[in-house]
Chain A
């Protein structure tokens, strides 16, 4: 009996090992590509990968949505720690790349044949500079952006007797004052001109301070040469502007995100948001609701183009990839002209490429999707994030001061920006 049990155990173990090894073999043969786990991007990955596999029998690619988790960033981190990274990942937030590059887990793409030519054809030199790592190498290829802009309720803005959305801080104050209402006469405001989360969470500043800072400063960096570079008049102006908005109750201090959509329900006339709001608004907007997008508000004396934050997601190749050149060849096809058009039409996300708004190849799409055209115009003037391995801490330190100054008015904008800059400089000294 004991002998029989031993034999069964050995046989079972043998089959398990065979099973594991055969799985590994399959996954190693193909290049593994992780895409975002939203359904539109999975569809995009499927179509593009199927096309590639049809024409490249020797370099087959297997696509897979990034495994479910609290956030894709955490999944990637876990994969890096566990050495189970895919060969290609296409949803890498630009701000994370520097830390991974310094950890030595990414392939320097500029070492691959044909990369530099492709990059300079796709992007302006300013974008190339922006994505360059601190060691001078490039570890990411710019892929897509979702610029943050001002969405506004057309009917409500028209009711105020304005000729379009406010463009400067003074115009915003004027419109906000007209819009603010206490309907039930209880002494408390019932509708606010705008809404921005008051949470101190670092990434919330992507939807208020950071795009406004880029707009005011013409795309200035937050850090440069391992020092804070935001201790300037633009950051102070942005803090002063937002502080006034909260002080005068033009923005609500309450967390409104848990209730009915404040923008679609007319509780607020504007918001700072990206193109993803279009699909949401089209699905849930009430009858007769009209909305448009406009550039981020700027200081009254601002001249030149209005920049904003582009929320860039880029593509990287991990060092676990056995054939980075083959992976790069696939990426080149994934994001070529046709690939970018497919990205636009399937996901309504903008490819990060130069002259997107004037390129005739995409003009049909923008004719059919006029609301996306303004984002394409804006895409000429977007910034991502600075290359720094401690970017989250930097945003957190700014966010702490933002809360003290902007939301609670406990510091002057000058003092708050100065304190944030000092704290960031200390961070670099550690």
Chain B
């Protein structure tokens, strides 16, 4: 007779275990197997040894896509933190219509990424876009926001910042509200300016929040896909091909499944390494 008490815990965890095996363990394992094969989905898999890894090392477009992703992160993360913190600081004050502003800044977060991207594509239009019309009105030259290879990725980073800043404002607001008010009162008694209070009290006190925002932004930034996919298709001159977009194109555009799996695995390790480094910094800080 099977002991029901012994089986029950296994039964209770079984949904998660089954889900984990089906949707995590098996795909990851299969991806690793795929990296040693050539497979276009419709033909049988062909063992190719480490060819995919050799191709990865020599793939200039993938290196460029990695570089593009890093450029995006370098622009996006500081912008995100500065704007989110600045706006959170303002929205933490007792200003009129504070609730309305908080809601307004959060609105882009809940709007579909595709919709936001298409709207910004119109704003960035070279001949008909609002930004260039404003530039021409004040006597400046038009800018190829999405057509100039040197600017396109920065344009996408600005748009992504606008889209996500609301979420980070909320996180910073939570952080700001945990700072004990006594510190500010003491600083007031000492005659500290607003800037001094911000840099000497607020910033050190919300350091954990800043690190959390950095980690979230980094993970979000590494998964950059919708924006370049819709706005530029990776162009001009591959200047906005993100690593994820490149992996997607290899996998679901050209059906180079083995190579896409290799790129995906490599990229996962890169993200893991970056997160580990960030984690080390956080631990050191604590």
Contacts and interface: CB of A to CB of B under 8 A. Distances in A.
Interface of A: 77, 80-81, 99-100, 102-105, 186, 188-190, 198-201, 252-255, 258-259, 392-393, 396, 400, 403-404, 407-408, 410, 430
A104 B40 CA distance: 13
Contacts of B31: none
Contacts of B233: 199-201
Interface string B119-142: 001100111100000001000001
A393 B40 CA distance: 13
A200 B234 contact: yes
A80 B233 CA distance: 27
Q: Which of A102, A252, A253, A255 counts the most B-chain CB atoms under 10 A from its CB?
A: A255
* Ranked 4 nearest A-B pairs via Cβ: A103-B42, A254-B126, A103-B43, A200-B235
A139 B118 CA distance: 41
Contacts, number: 65
10 contacts: A77-B41, A77-B255, A198-B147, A199-B233, A253-B144, A254-B128, A254-B147, A259-B125, A392-B253, A430-B55
B254 A80 contact: no
B67 interface: no
B195 to A, nearest CB: 43
Contact of A404 (B41, B42, B146, B237): B237
Contacts of B42: 77, 80-81, 99-100, 103, 105
B127 A254 contact: yes
A49 B40 CA distance: 34
Contact of A253 (B147, B234, B253): B147
A188 B254 contact: no
Please tell me the size bucket of the interface on B.
20 to 34
B128 A403 contact: no
A258 B235 contact: no
Nearest to A260: B128
B122 A186 contact: no
A400 B136 CA distance: 31
A66 B31 CA distance: 30
Q: Which of B42, B43, B146, B233 counts the most A-chain CB atoms under 10 A from its CB?
A: B42
Given A200-B233, A400-B238, A259 B128 contact: yes
Contact of B236 (A190, A392, A407): A407
A199 B235 contact: yes
Given A392-B253, A404-B237, A258 B122 contact: yes
